[in-house]
Amino acid sequence: MLVLLLKLLLALLAVTVLVYAALYVIAPTRIADTALSLERMRAKLERSEMTITADGRNWHLVYLEGGPADAPPLLLLHGIGADKDNWTKVAASGLTQRYRVYAVDLPGFGESDKPADARYRIGDQVARVEAIAKQLGLSRFDLAGNSMGGWIAAAYAIAHPEQVKSLWLLNPAGVMSAEPSEMMKLIAAGMPLPLFARSEQDFGRLLQFVMQKPPFIPAPVRAVLARRQIANYRLNEQIFEEVREQSGALDAQLAALSAPLATPTLIVWGDRDRVLHPSGAAILLRLLPNAKLMMLPGIGHLPMLEAPGQVTAEYLAFRSGLNP
Protein backbone atom coordinates (compact mmCIF):
# COMPACT_ATOMS: atom_id res chain seq x y z
CA MET A 1 0.00 0.00 0.00
CA LEU A 2 2.83 2.38 0.91
CA VAL A 3 4.61 1.62 -2.38
CA LEU A 4 1.40 2.36 -4.33
CA LEU A 5 0.90 5.66 -2.50
CA LEU A 6 4.50 6.65 -3.22
CA LYS A 7 4.05 5.85 -6.90
CA LEU A 8 0.89 7.99 -7.01
CA LEU A 9 2.67 10.92 -5.37
CA LEU A 10 5.59 10.64 -7.80
CA ALA A 11 3.15 10.50 -10.72
CA LEU A 12 1.35 13.62 -9.46
CA LEU A 13 4.68 15.40 -9.06
CA ALA A 14 5.71 14.44 -12.59
CA VAL A 15 2.40 15.71 -13.99
CA THR A 16 2.79 18.98 -12.06
CA VAL A 17 6.29 19.48 -13.42
CA LEU A 18 5.14 18.72 -16.97
CA VAL A 19 2.18 21.11 -16.69
CA TYR A 20 4.42 23.88 -15.36
CA ALA A 21 6.96 23.25 -18.12
CA ALA A 22 4.21 23.33 -20.75
CA LEU A 23 2.82 26.57 -19.37
CA TYR A 24 6.30 28.07 -19.28
CA VAL A 25 6.74 27.32 -22.98
CA ILE A 26 3.16 27.86 -24.20
CA ALA A 27 1.69 30.46 -21.85
CA PRO A 28 4.40 32.41 -19.98
CA THR A 29 2.25 35.56 -20.12
CA ARG A 30 -0.47 33.77 -18.17
CA ILE A 31 2.07 32.75 -15.53
CA ALA A 32 3.42 36.30 -15.34
CA ASP A 33 -0.05 37.81 -15.05
CA THR A 34 -0.95 35.32 -12.33
CA ALA A 35 2.22 36.14 -10.39
CA LEU A 36 1.53 39.89 -10.66
CA SER A 37 -2.07 39.34 -9.57
CA LEU A 38 -0.92 37.43 -6.50
CA GLU A 39 1.54 40.20 -5.66
CA ARG A 40 -1.23 42.77 -5.96
CA MET A 41 -3.55 40.68 -3.78
CA ARG A 42 -0.86 40.48 -1.10
CA ALA A 43 -0.55 44.28 -1.29
CA LYS A 44 -4.37 44.68 -1.15
CA LEU A 45 -4.36 46.46 -4.51
CA GLU A 46 -6.85 46.05 -7.32
CA ARG A 47 -6.50 46.93 -10.99
CA SER A 48 -8.74 49.76 -12.22
CA GLU A 49 -9.09 51.91 -15.33
CA MET A 50 -9.92 55.52 -16.05
CA THR A 51 -10.09 58.00 -18.91
CA ILE A 52 -8.72 61.51 -18.58
CA THR A 53 -8.59 64.45 -20.96
CA ALA A 54 -5.33 66.39 -21.13
CA ASP A 55 -3.50 68.38 -23.83
CA GLY A 56 -6.43 67.94 -26.19
CA ARG A 57 -6.31 64.14 -26.06
CA ASN A 58 -8.34 61.46 -24.29
CA TRP A 59 -6.08 59.06 -22.41
CA HIS A 60 -7.03 55.59 -21.26
CA LEU A 61 -5.05 54.84 -18.10
CA VAL A 62 -4.66 51.78 -15.90
CA TYR A 63 -3.87 52.00 -12.20
CA LEU A 64 -3.84 50.06 -8.93
CA GLU A 65 -5.81 51.17 -5.90
CA GLY A 66 -6.29 49.81 -2.42
CA GLY A 67 -6.51 50.57 1.26
CA PRO A 68 -9.39 51.89 3.38
CA ALA A 69 -11.75 54.09 1.37
CA ASP A 70 -11.72 56.76 4.10
CA ALA A 71 -7.92 56.74 4.57
CA PRO A 72 -5.72 59.65 3.42
CA PRO A 73 -4.95 59.38 -0.31
CA LEU A 74 -1.40 58.66 -1.49
CA LEU A 75 -0.59 58.91 -5.21
CA LEU A 76 2.50 57.01 -6.44
CA LEU A 77 4.36 57.83 -9.69
CA HIS A 78 6.82 55.37 -11.25
CA GLY A 79 10.00 56.12 -13.16
CA ILE A 80 10.84 56.00 -16.86
CA GLY A 81 10.47 52.58 -18.47
CA ALA A 82 8.67 51.33 -15.36
CA ASP A 83 5.03 50.89 -14.35
CA LYS A 84 2.53 50.79 -11.48
CA ASP A 85 3.74 47.40 -10.20
CA ASN A 86 6.99 48.98 -9.00
CA TRP A 87 4.96 49.98 -5.92
CA THR A 88 3.35 46.68 -4.92
CA LYS A 89 6.11 45.74 -2.47
CA VAL A 90 5.89 48.98 -0.48
CA ALA A 91 2.09 48.76 -0.57
CA ALA A 92 2.35 45.26 0.92
CA SER A 93 4.82 46.54 3.54
CA GLY A 94 2.17 48.70 5.21
CA LEU A 95 1.06 51.52 2.91
CA THR A 96 -2.38 50.07 2.20
CA GLN A 97 -2.99 49.67 5.92
CA ARG A 98 -2.68 53.42 6.48
CA TYR A 99 -3.50 55.04 3.12
CA ARG A 100 -5.80 54.86 0.16
CA VAL A 101 -3.07 54.07 -2.35
CA TYR A 102 -3.18 54.91 -6.05
CA ALA A 103 -0.33 53.63 -8.26
CA VAL A 104 -0.82 54.85 -11.83
CA ASP A 105 0.64 53.76 -15.14
CA LEU A 106 1.59 57.21 -16.39
CA PRO A 107 0.76 58.07 -20.02
CA GLY A 108 3.39 56.42 -22.21
CA PHE A 109 4.01 53.47 -19.87
CA GLY A 110 2.64 50.16 -18.63
CA GLU A 111 -0.90 49.39 -19.75
CA SER A 112 -1.83 53.05 -20.29
CA ASP A 113 -2.03 54.73 -23.71
CA LYS A 114 1.38 55.35 -25.23
CA PRO A 115 1.00 57.21 -28.54
CA ALA A 116 4.35 57.92 -30.16
CA ASP A 117 3.19 61.32 -31.41
CA ALA A 118 2.40 62.70 -27.95
CA ARG A 119 4.79 64.83 -25.88
CA TYR A 120 6.16 63.47 -22.61
CA ARG A 121 8.07 66.36 -21.05
CA ILE A 122 7.83 66.77 -17.30
CA GLY A 123 5.41 69.69 -17.68
CA ASP A 124 3.19 67.58 -19.95
CA GLN A 125 3.05 64.80 -17.37
CA VAL A 126 2.34 67.30 -14.57
CA ALA A 127 -0.76 68.43 -16.49
CA ARG A 128 -1.83 64.79 -16.86
CA VAL A 129 -1.30 64.08 -13.17
CA GLU A 130 -3.55 67.05 -12.44
CA ALA A 131 -6.23 65.44 -14.61
CA ILE A 132 -5.63 62.09 -12.87
CA ALA A 133 -6.06 63.66 -9.42
CA LYS A 134 -9.26 65.34 -10.56
CA GLN A 135 -10.63 62.10 -12.01
CA LEU A 136 -9.87 60.29 -8.74
CA GLY A 137 -11.53 63.06 -6.73
CA LEU A 138 -8.30 64.06 -4.96
CA SER A 139 -8.15 67.69 -3.86
CA ARG A 140 -5.39 67.32 -1.26
CA PHE A 141 -3.15 64.29 -1.06
CA ASP A 142 0.32 62.90 -0.37
CA LEU A 143 2.46 62.44 -3.46
CA ALA A 144 5.40 60.13 -4.11
CA GLY A 145 7.63 59.34 -7.06
CA ASN A 146 10.75 57.47 -8.07
CA SER A 147 13.28 58.72 -10.63
CA MET A 148 11.31 60.47 -13.41
CA GLY A 149 8.22 60.06 -11.22
CA GLY A 150 10.00 61.90 -8.41
CA TRP A 151 10.78 64.75 -10.79
CA ILE A 152 7.13 64.89 -11.85
CA ALA A 153 5.99 64.78 -8.20
CA ALA A 154 8.26 67.67 -7.19
CA ALA A 155 7.24 69.71 -10.26
CA TYR A 156 3.61 69.04 -9.42
CA ALA A 157 4.13 70.34 -5.87
CA ILE A 158 5.73 73.49 -7.31
CA ALA A 159 2.75 74.02 -9.63
CA HIS A 160 0.06 73.03 -7.10
CA PRO A 161 1.46 73.46 -3.57
CA GLU A 162 -2.03 73.77 -2.10
CA GLN A 163 -2.87 70.21 -3.20
CA VAL A 164 0.20 68.34 -1.92
CA LYS A 165 0.34 67.46 1.79
CA SER A 166 3.79 65.89 1.56
CA LEU A 167 6.34 64.66 -0.94
CA TRP A 168 8.14 61.32 -0.90
CA LEU A 169 10.98 61.47 -3.42
CA LEU A 170 12.91 58.25 -4.07
CA ASN A 171 16.08 58.81 -6.13
CA PRO A 172 14.34 61.62 -8.04
CA ALA A 173 15.57 62.75 -11.45
CA GLY A 174 16.00 66.34 -12.57
CA VAL A 175 18.85 67.49 -10.30
CA MET A 176 21.14 68.60 -13.09
CA SER A 177 23.82 70.17 -10.89
CA ALA A 178 24.61 66.82 -9.23
CA GLU A 179 27.87 65.05 -10.03
CA PRO A 180 27.78 62.95 -13.21
CA SER A 181 26.46 59.47 -12.53
CA GLU A 182 27.83 56.30 -14.11
CA MET A 183 24.92 56.40 -16.56
CA MET A 184 25.63 60.00 -17.54
CA LYS A 185 29.30 59.14 -18.14
CA LEU A 186 28.28 56.24 -20.37
CA ILE A 187 25.97 58.52 -22.36
CA ALA A 188 28.74 61.13 -22.72
CA ALA A 189 31.05 58.40 -24.03
CA GLY A 190 28.51 57.43 -26.70
CA MET A 191 27.60 54.12 -25.07
CA PRO A 192 24.06 52.64 -25.28
CA LEU A 193 21.60 53.85 -22.66
CA PRO A 194 21.57 51.16 -19.93
CA LEU A 195 18.01 51.90 -18.74
CA PHE A 196 16.17 50.05 -21.50
CA ALA A 197 16.41 46.60 -23.06
CA ARG A 198 16.60 45.58 -26.72
CA SER A 199 17.05 41.89 -25.89
CA GLU A 200 16.53 39.47 -23.00
CA GLN A 201 20.28 39.67 -22.33
CA ASP A 202 19.97 43.47 -22.15
CA PHE A 203 17.15 43.05 -19.64
CA GLY A 204 19.37 41.07 -17.30
CA ARG A 205 22.05 43.78 -17.50
CA LEU A 206 19.37 46.42 -16.93
CA LEU A 207 18.27 44.82 -13.67
CA GLN A 208 21.85 44.65 -12.45
CA PHE A 209 22.47 48.28 -13.41
CA VAL A 210 19.45 49.84 -11.70
CA MET A 211 19.52 47.71 -8.54
CA GLN A 212 22.20 46.54 -6.16
CA LYS A 213 19.77 44.09 -4.52
CA PRO A 214 17.28 43.02 -7.20
CA PRO A 215 14.34 41.00 -5.85
CA PHE A 216 13.75 37.44 -7.02
CA ILE A 217 11.75 37.33 -10.25
CA PRO A 218 10.45 33.92 -11.40
CA ALA A 219 11.80 32.95 -14.82
CA PRO A 220 8.44 33.15 -16.69
CA VAL A 221 7.74 36.58 -15.21
CA ARG A 222 11.24 37.75 -16.04
CA ALA A 223 10.84 36.60 -19.66
CA VAL A 224 7.54 38.43 -20.08
CA LEU A 225 8.87 41.62 -18.46
CA ALA A 226 11.86 41.47 -20.80
CA ARG A 227 9.60 41.16 -23.86
CA ARG A 228 7.53 44.13 -22.72
CA GLN A 229 10.69 46.19 -22.26
CA ILE A 230 11.89 45.22 -25.74
CA ALA A 231 8.51 46.16 -27.29
CA ASN A 232 8.66 49.63 -25.66
CA TYR A 233 12.35 50.28 -26.33
CA ARG A 234 11.95 52.93 -29.03
CA LEU A 235 9.29 54.92 -27.18
CA ASN A 236 11.21 54.74 -23.88
CA GLU A 237 14.33 56.06 -25.61
CA GLN A 238 12.30 58.83 -27.26
CA ILE A 239 10.76 59.85 -23.92
CA PHE A 240 14.15 59.82 -22.20
CA GLU A 241 15.66 62.21 -24.76
CA GLU A 242 12.61 64.46 -24.66
CA VAL A 243 12.58 64.67 -20.86
CA ARG A 244 16.32 65.22 -20.64
CA GLU A 245 16.57 67.89 -23.35
CA GLN A 246 13.28 69.80 -23.04
CA SER A 247 12.12 69.74 -19.42
CA GLY A 248 14.52 72.13 -17.68
CA ALA A 249 16.27 71.32 -14.40
CA LEU A 250 14.37 70.61 -11.18
CA ASP A 251 17.06 72.17 -8.99
CA ALA A 252 17.11 75.33 -11.11
CA GLN A 253 13.32 75.54 -10.93
CA LEU A 254 13.38 75.21 -7.14
CA ALA A 255 16.17 77.79 -6.81
CA ALA A 256 14.24 80.28 -8.95
CA LEU A 257 11.13 80.26 -6.74
CA SER A 258 10.38 83.57 -5.02
CA ALA A 259 9.87 81.60 -1.79
CA PRO A 260 11.24 78.11 -1.09
CA LEU A 261 8.82 75.22 -1.55
CA ALA A 262 7.61 74.53 1.98
CA THR A 263 6.02 71.12 1.32
CA PRO A 264 7.24 68.57 3.90
CA THR A 265 9.47 66.18 1.96
CA LEU A 266 11.18 62.87 2.62
CA ILE A 267 14.11 62.33 0.23
CA VAL A 268 15.27 58.72 -0.08
CA TRP A 269 18.38 57.85 -2.06
CA GLY A 270 20.44 54.69 -2.46
CA ASP A 271 24.12 55.47 -2.06
CA ARG A 272 24.99 52.93 -4.80
CA ASP A 273 22.76 54.53 -7.42
CA ARG A 274 24.43 54.17 -10.82
CA VAL A 275 21.64 55.97 -12.71
CA LEU A 276 21.48 59.27 -10.79
CA HIS A 277 24.38 60.40 -8.62
CA PRO A 278 23.53 60.41 -4.88
CA SER A 279 25.02 63.92 -4.59
CA GLY A 280 21.65 65.11 -5.86
CA ALA A 281 20.17 64.32 -2.45
CA ALA A 282 22.18 67.01 -0.62
CA ILE A 283 21.30 69.56 -3.32
CA LEU A 284 17.58 68.92 -2.87
CA LEU A 285 17.98 69.02 0.90
CA ARG A 286 19.38 72.56 0.64
CA LEU A 287 16.59 73.70 -1.68
CA LEU A 288 13.70 72.22 0.31
CA PRO A 289 13.60 73.76 3.81
CA ASN A 290 11.16 71.18 5.22
CA ALA A 291 12.96 68.15 3.84
CA LYS A 292 14.48 65.14 5.57
CA LEU A 293 17.06 62.86 3.94
CA MET A 294 17.32 59.10 4.23
CA MET A 295 20.47 57.78 2.55
CA LEU A 296 20.40 54.00 2.10
CA PRO A 297 23.77 52.20 2.17
CA GLY A 298 24.20 49.45 -0.39
CA ILE A 299 21.01 50.33 -2.31
CA GLY A 300 20.72 51.36 -5.94
CA HIS A 301 18.19 53.32 -7.98
CA LEU A 302 14.98 51.53 -6.93
CA PRO A 303 14.80 51.50 -3.12
CA MET A 304 11.08 50.65 -3.11
CA LEU A 305 12.00 47.33 -4.77
CA GLU A 306 15.34 46.72 -3.07
CA ALA A 307 14.41 47.61 0.53
CA PRO A 308 10.60 47.95 0.61
CA GLY A 309 10.14 47.29 4.33
CA GLN A 310 12.81 49.79 5.35
CA VAL A 311 11.66 52.62 3.11
CA THR A 312 7.99 52.07 4.00
CA ALA A 313 8.70 52.13 7.74
CA GLU A 314 10.72 55.33 7.34
CA TYR A 315 7.99 56.98 5.28
CA LEU A 316 5.24 56.03 7.75
CA ALA A 317 7.34 57.41 10.62
CA PHE A 318 8.01 60.61 8.66
CA ARG A 319 4.36 61.05 7.72
CA SER A 320 3.05 60.36 11.24
CA GLY A 321 5.11 63.32 12.49
CA LEU A 322 3.22 65.73 10.23
CA ASN A 323 -0.23 67.21 10.44
CA PRO A 324 -2.98 64.91 9.12
| Mean pLDDT (10-residue bins), the chain, 324 residues | 48 45 57 85 97 96 98 98 97 98 98 96 98 98 98 98 98 98 96 94 95 89 91 96 91 97 98 98 98 98 98 97 83
| Bridge partner residues of 50 (DSSP) | 61
DSSP 8-state secondary structure symbol assigned to residue 161? T
Query: Which tens digit of pLDDT belongs to each residue from 255-268?
Result: 999 999 999 999 99
Query: Which sign does the torsion angle of CA 43, 313, 167, 216 carry?
Result: negative
What's the pLDDT score for residue 194? Answer: 95
What's the pLDDT score for residue 323? Answer: 77
Topology (CATH level 3) of domain 29-320:
Rossmann fold (3.40.50)
DSSP 8-state secondary structure symbol assigned to residue 74? E
> Can you give the C-alpha Rg of the chain in angstroms?
21
Residue among 93, 112, 147, 247 flagged as catalytic: 147
The alpha-helical segments, DSSP class H, found in the chain are 2-26, 28-42, 88-90, 96-98, 122-136, 148-159, 182-188, 200-210, 219-231, 233-246, 250-255, 279-287, 303-306, 308-320
Query: Which tens digit of pLDDT belongs to each residue from 131-182?
Result: 999 999 999 999 999 999 999 999 999 999 999 999 999 999 999 999 999 9
What's the pLDDT score for residue 107? Answer: 98
Query: How many whole angstroms separate alpha carbon 153 and alpha carbon 169?
Result: 8
What's the pLDDT score for residue 14? Answer: 46
Whether the CB-CB separation of 65 and 100 falls below 8 Å is answered with: yes
What's the pLDDT score for residue 5? Answer: 45
Q: Pick the closest to residue 270 from 291, 301, 243 (CA basis).
A: 301
Using a cut of 0.95, tell me whether the model's pTM lies above it.
Answer: no
What's the pLDDT score for residue 26? Answer: 55
State yes or no: is 147 an active-site residue.
yes
Average pLDDT, the chain: 92
* C-alpha separations of 297 from 168, 169, 216, 271, 292 in Å: 18, 17, 20, 5, 16
What's the pLDDT score for residue 6? Answer: 47
